[in-house]
Amino acid sequence: MVKTVRLEPISQATSVETNGNLLSVLINKDLDVLKECGGRGMCATCHIYVKDGMDALSPVNRREQRTLEVITTCKPNSRLACQARVLKDGVVVELPPGMYVNSIKDIEALIGRRAEQDLLHPITGQVLVEAGKLITRSMMKQIEDTTSFNVGQYFSQSSEH
Ligand code: FES
């Protein structure tokens, strides 16, 4: 059995096996999802909003709840796509705008350019650089200082617990 899921604002519909997760829907649509934690419910890179059909998804689990609590752009209809499984028809997903950066090196390569879209922190979803703003070295330093920005370290630490 398959269920239909709609994606906004790109206005696309796609189908997924019943009980399949929303992450597979996004990947099938060639959306660039970093999956920084490998689909373990521990990052913000698969964070989406459910515009409609929240009750057609599996309930939020404890790990997902804990991660959602630190995502700064979290709303009552937030879910992690890797954790939300599609049980019924009628789910409408709204993709949050922005692009995630998964290492300080990613930003370093962008210094001197304007951000084409918001650059988001992969753990908290916080906007690090707004779209249209120039990415400067001092901005990078600020990001480093304010966010202990070492995602690789974050995940190796968290898997030890
Ligand atoms: S891929 Fe990390 S929480 Fe879903």
Q: What is the pLDDT of residue 110?
A: 86
Q: What is the mean pLDDT of each run of 10 residues along the chain (161 residues)?
A: 92 93 90 88 94 97 95 94 97 88 76 89 84 86 63 54 44
Question: Is any atom of ligand 1 closer than 6 Å to the C-beta of 42?
Answer: yes
Distance 40 CA to ligand 1 centre (A): 5
Question: Is any atom of ligand 1 closer than 6 Å to the C-beta of 135?
Answer: no
Domain boundaries, the chain: 2-94, 99-149
Q: What is the pLDDT of residue 88?
A: 97
How many other C-beta atoms can be found within 10 angstroms of the C-beta atom of residue 66? 11
Quick one: 2-94 is in which CATH superfamily? Beta-grasp domain (3.10.20.30)
Cα–Cα dist 144/45, whole Å: 19
Question: Is any atom of ligand 1 closer than 6 Å to the C-beta of 84?
Answer: no
DSSP per-residue letters across 12-81: EEEEEETT-BHHHHHHHTT-----TTSSSS-SSTTEEEEEE-GGGBPPP-HHHHHHHHH-TT--TTEEET
Q: What is the pLDDT of residue 86?
A: 98
Residue 71 makes CB contacts below 8 A (sequence gap 6+) with 44, 47, 78, 124, 125
Q: Among 26, 35, 74, say which to mutate for ligand 1: greatest number of ligand atoms within 8 Å of CB.
A: 35
Q: What is the DSSP letter of 117?
A: S
Q: What is the pLDDT of residue 151?
A: 54
